[in-house]
Amino acid sequence: MSEEPHARSWIRPFLAPIKPIFREIIAMSFFVNVMALAVPVFVMQVYDRVVYNQGISTLEGLLIGMVFVLIFDYVLRQARSRILQTIALRVDIEVGKHLFAKLMGAPMKALEARPSAYWQALFRDVDVVRNTLSGASAVLVADLPFVVIFVTLIFIIATPVAWVLLIVLPVFMFVAWRSGNVMAQANAQELRSTQSRDDLIAEMISSRTTIKALALDRALRPIWEEKHAKNIKNAVDRGRKTDSFTNLGASLSMLTSISLTTIGVLAIIDQQITMGALIATNMLSGRILGPLNQLVGTWRTYNGFNQSVERLGQFFDMPSERESSDIEIDRPQGHLSIEAVSFAYGEDQAPVVSNVSFKVEKGGIHALVGRNGSGKTTLLKLVQGLYHPNSGRITIDDADIAQFTRTELASWMGYVPQESVLFAGTIRDNVAKRMPGASDEEIIKAATEAGVHHFIIDMPDGYATEIGEAGARLSGGQRQRIAIARALVGDPPVILLDEPSSHLDRHAEQELRNTLKKISKDRTVIVVTHSPILLGACDYLYALDHGKLALAGPSSEILPRLFGVAKPATSEEESRPKRTPKGAPQEQPKGTPQEQTGDTQTRKPPLPAPSTTPSVEKKIPASLLRERPSHGKEPSAPSGAPALNLTRARQKAETPHAPLNWEPPKRDKPLAPIGAPGTRKSVQAPQEPRADRTPPQNNTPPGAQASPPPTTVLRPRGAQPISPASSPLSPSRQPSSRIKGPQGGGATVTLHPRGRAPTHKVAPGEHVTPPKTAWKMGAPIRPVSIDGAPGIHASSATTKSGEKDQSSSRPTRTNAVTLRPITQTRIDDPDNDEGDK
């Protein structure tokens, strides 16, 4: 028997129960076609008898007979259609059941060998079979055999015209056959392009989140347009060929009608036939040519039916998994043994698992570890029975799992795949998928063990919550934990988990770790993971490398060899690096030279190695710059801060400096006194006053006007001038200060920033706030004394710590500063506090 007939033979068992019904259909089709002869005969009798003889009574009898014929014809046609639909539905139901059972029983290796669109096309093939058996194609097949009756009748009533039909019929049959071959190739090309397009559609729908997130539409659009354009091209090509043959059949039908009429008229002239016979012949020829012309147009449907039957037959010929067991085991204990197992996905491909052997005893958590692609997931599927090893065997309680059915293995082994998939419906439906008859107590128990019961009951509908298609309304972690609960339903003795923590946060991962420790007391738990938290809870580890078993043993022995530690961090606190408080002594590692020599003194850690990156110079805090010696004593630097050598600073202030690039401009005229037109006083950032210095007293007699002092600049004693262009002072971050004008008269002081025009004037008794740009960052304003001016004070607004002083009564340390006349405005460093010479 050839391959194609064998591929089509599968449908015979489904059609065998309905063979008696086919006999009824053939009988009905016979009577329907006989009734179709009544119309041509009626027309011929009317023209030949009623018209020429004016026989009204004959016409009445003919009409009454035709009414009964039409009613009977309608009843028969309706009954035949109902029976065809019943047959199609029966075939659809039976084939659909068989297809589903075959698909569920197909080996996993065979299912993964083809894309998902191929399996979807098989269910569409069932629809094609149903539509073909119940549609117009089935009626056409039932009517075609009765063409012989019509041809025979034409030979009886109009023999000269019947020869035309004998010539036309072979032409129609050749056109139909040729159209079948051509359309078969066109349909095959269209089908391949449609499947390729459907594969892309299924891939895009399943990856819609990734496409949206990464904006991959621009990359996928050319691929889609190419496949869609190819599918449209094949469809248009098939449509053009179909139209060509259909139009050719219509043209042949019209040519046949013209030929019949022409030959019939010539026969009437020769008095070989009557006018009624010619009209009846034309009507009968329509009943003959109509099915033949329809056969040309519907040949595509028959080709599609044959292709669907062949694909279904090829699928039904595939081997299936075991449907019955050789032995019976109530419930195994869970002892597993992998004995020299090897597996490859193809005959010409390298093995993914190669000669792996180890035993897994009941109880405890057993982890499969290794790099990506080392065969961990494949080995887990082999243990679950999804794949069959090419060599070696896997046993459960010393019984080979190959002798058990898929249903039995699934009831003994709860499996959580790497990509957890849920189904549309409620949470309860998904948890109970493995055991549809599970009670509410069993479902709640499994959910509690998986750690999902608390968040399920927090939902508005609880276990009746609809999760959408593939659990789209849940997060990845929630879907994964529901999948774990589904694996625990029915209390299986073996639990297999493939990366169960890939979508879990650390808190949920810790809960899963506790769950696995709990359920592993009386179950065998095998987990594929890279999680340090889960690895820390494992009892045994099996490390795979390129499909081979590299290490196996207790985790206390394997973990140090894999990770260099006896136990990975199992919590968030353990995984965080320990930080030593600032200023605290660091712990010396064991085995240091200090410990070996008996030196127990706490030592500072060694300095870090020089960095290749450029270092950034840190500025000294302003609070340190404000520190001043009290009573001739040097202040001590705070702990951890670099000490300031103030003595060296004073020496540098007393030592003449090298000339700077900037020099004050020379004046030809003598300095004008304070208060004279065009004069100004520039106030600089003074130093804090010292307790051992007091401002000079005002010796002006009462009632006498004080003599105006010379124009001076406020600056610390002994400080050297600094060029505005090279000044390190920052004019943007200064503390807010206040200047109090002289009481009862005195000098008018003009405050202005460095190198800028005057902005403020201090009148007697007036309080003003100087511009912030006039002071160095962190430099306070201190009380000063101006030579010859009575009681000009500048009160500080900041303390040593940088905080604003809200109390005017707080005592402060002061330093007396003598104002010297200069010819140029400048801001000097307040840190040098040497006395006047």
Pair 91, 20 in one domain: yes
Which of 563, 593, 611 is the last residue before a domain boundary?
A: 563
User: For residue 375, which of 365, 387, 363 has the smallest C-alpha distance?
Assistant: 387
What is the predicted pLDDT for the residue at 144?
80
Q: Are residues 308 and 341 in the same domain?
A: no
More confident residue, 196 or 717: 196
List the single range of 147-156, 345-354, 385-394, 576-585 with lowest mean pLDDT: 576-585
Q: What is the DSSP code (8-state) at residue 401?
A: G
> What gap in Å lies between CA 127 and CA 134, rounded to an integer?
11
340 pLDDT tier (thresholds 50, 70, 90): very high
What distance in Å separates the CA atoms of residue 518 and residue 513, rounded to the nearest whole number?
Answer: 9
Report the pLDDT value the prediction gives residue 655, as an integer from 0 to 100: 46
Question: From CA 587, how far away is CA 604, in angstroms rounded?
Answer: 9
**CA distance readout (Å), 86 to 62, 127, 404, 441, 492:** 36, 14, 39, 44, 44
Domain final position from 256, 289, 317: 317
What confidence score (pLDDT) does residue 765 get? 55
Encode pLDDT of 142-194 as tens digits: 788 888 888 888 888 888 888 888 888 888 888 888 887 888 788 888 888 88
Which of 34-38, 445-449, 814-818 has the least mean pLDDT?
814-818
Which residue(s) pair with 378 in the sheet?
none
pLDDT given for residue 794 in this prediction: 39
Assess whether pLDDT exceeds 80 at residue 614: no
Residue-wise pLDDT tens digits, 512-525: 888 888 888 888 99
Interval 446-474 mean pLDDT: 85
Which residues, at least 6 apart from 558, have a Cβ–Cβ distance to it below 8 Å? 541, 543, 551, 552
Tell which residue, 745, 746, 744, 773, has the closest CA to residue 759. Answer: 773
Do 162 and 298 sit in the same domain of this protein? yes
Instruction: Judge if 94 and 161 occupy the same domain.
Output: yes
Instruction: Identify the sign of the CA torsion 594, 596, 597, 602.
Output: positive
Query: Which residues, 6+ apart, have CB-to-CB distance to 194 below 8 Å?
Result: 231
Q: Residue 749: beta bridge partners?
A: 762
Residue 641 has pLDDT above 80, yes or no: no
**pLDDT for position 616:** 36
Q: Are residues 248 and 380 in the same domain?
A: no
Give how far Cα 79 sits from Cα of 21, 65, 75, 91, Å: 12, 21, 6, 19
Give φ, ψ of 345 to 5 degrees. Answer: -75, -25
Q: Can you tell me the distance from the alpha carbon of 502 to that of 417, in angstroms, rounded to the nearest whole number?
A: 11
- Whether residue 465 is contained in a domain is answered as no
Domain presence at residue 15: yes
Please state, in angstroms and rounded to a whole number, the distance separating the CA atoms of residues 683 and 774: 8
| pLDDT higher than threshold 50 for residue 631 | no
Per cent of the chain over pLDDT 90 is: 6
One domain, residues 233 and 343: no
Q: Which two tokens stand for residue 215?
A: 């904006």
The domain boundary, picked from 563, 585, 617, lies at 563
State which residues form the domain around 273. Answer: 10-317
pLDDT value, residue 339: 92
734 vs 343: which has the higher pLDDT = 343
Q: How confident is the model at residue 10 (pLDDT cuts 50, 70, 90)?
A: confident
Residue 366 pLDDT > 90: yes
In a domain, 637, yes or no: no
- Average pLDDT of the chain, as a whole number: 72
**One domain for residues 399 and 542:** yes
Q: How far apart are CA 93 and CA 104, in angstroms?
A: 17
3-state SS of 272-314?
Answer: CCCHHHHHHHHHHHHHHHHHHHHHHHCHHHHHHHHHHHHHHHH
Higher pLDDT, 104 or 633: 104
Q: Give the residue among 478, 476, 480 at the shortest CA–CA distance from 527.
A: 480
Query: Do 50 and 23 share a domain, yes or no?
Result: yes
CATH number, position 497: 3.40.50.300
**pLDDT confidence of 653, banded at 50, 70, 90?**
very low
What pLDDT does residue 837 have? Answer: 37
Q: Which residue has the higher pLDDT, 794 or 461?
A: 461
Together in a domain, 389 and 530: yes
pLDDT in tens, 672-697: 444 444 444 444 444 444 444 445 45
526 pLDDT more than 90:
yes
Among 604, 831, 793, which Cα is nearest to 716's?
831
Distance CA 90, CA 86 (A): 6
Distances from the Cα of 790 to the Cα of 462, 471, 743, angstroms: 86, 87, 8
Region label for 567, one of left (φ > 0), alpha (ψ between -120 and 50) or beta (otherwise): beta
Are the C-beta atoms of 567 and 559 separated by less than 8 Å? yes
Indicate if 305 and 391 belong to the same structural domain. no
The Cα–Cα gap between 249 and 650 comes to 119
pLDDT at 336: 92
Measured CA to CA, the distance from residue 761 to residue 649 in angstroms comes to: 34
- pLDDT-wise least confident of 43-52, 277-286, 766-775: 766-775
Looking at the domain assignment, is residue 91 inside a domain? yes
Q: Within this chain, do residues 266 and 407 fall inside the same structural domain, yes or no?
A: no
Q: Residue 508: inside a domain, yes or no?
A: yes
Which element (helix H / strand E) includes 356? strand 353-360
* Alpha-carbon distances, residue 610 vs 248, 590, 606, 620 (angstroms): 92, 25, 12, 22
Domain assignment present for residue 685? The answer is: no
Q: Is the pLDDT score of 364 beyond 80? A: yes
Mean pLDDT of 748-770: 49
- Of the candidates 392, 397, 390, 336, which has an alpha carbon nearest to the alpha carbon of residue 368? 336
What is the domain count for the chain? Answer: 2
The residue whose two tokens read 């063979």 is 19
Q: Residue 118: inside a domain, yes or no?
A: yes
Q: What one-letter code names the amino acid at 547?
A: G
Is pLDDT above 70 for 617? no
3-state secondary structure of 402: helix
Q: What is the pLDDT of residues 538-578, one digit of tens each?
A: 999 999 988 899 888 898 888 888 766 555 555 544 545 45
Q: Nearest to residue 175, comparing CAs of 253, 234, 281?
A: 253
Provide mean pLDDT across the span 256-260.
Answer: 86
Listed in sequence order, the residues at least 6 apart from 691 whose beta carbon sits closer than 8 Å to its beta carbon are 630, 631, 813, 814
SS (H, E, C) 140-190: HHHHHHHHHHHHHHHHHHCHHHHHHHHHHHHHHHHHHHHHHHHHHHHHHHH
Amino acid 393: pLDDT: 92
Per mean pLDDT, which range of 41-50, 475-484, 561-570, 622-631 is the poorest? 622-631
CATH for 308: 1.20.1560.10
Q: State both tokens at 393.
A: 């065997």
As a whole-number percent, the residues of the chain with pLDDT over 70 amount to: 66
- For residues 167, 168, 171, 173, the Cα torsion angle rounded to the nearest 10 degrees is -110
Judgement on whether residues 281 and 405 belong to the same structural domain of the protein: no
Q: CA distances (Å), 151 to each of 14, 154, 234, 266, 593, in order? A: 35, 5, 39, 20, 117
Q: How, if at all, do strands 413-416 and 540-545 pair?
A: unpaired
pLDDT band at 394 (very low <50, low <70, confident <90, very high): very high
Q: What is the CA radius of gyration of the chain?
A: 52
Residue 815, domain member (yes or no)? no
Position 367 scores a pLDDT of: 92
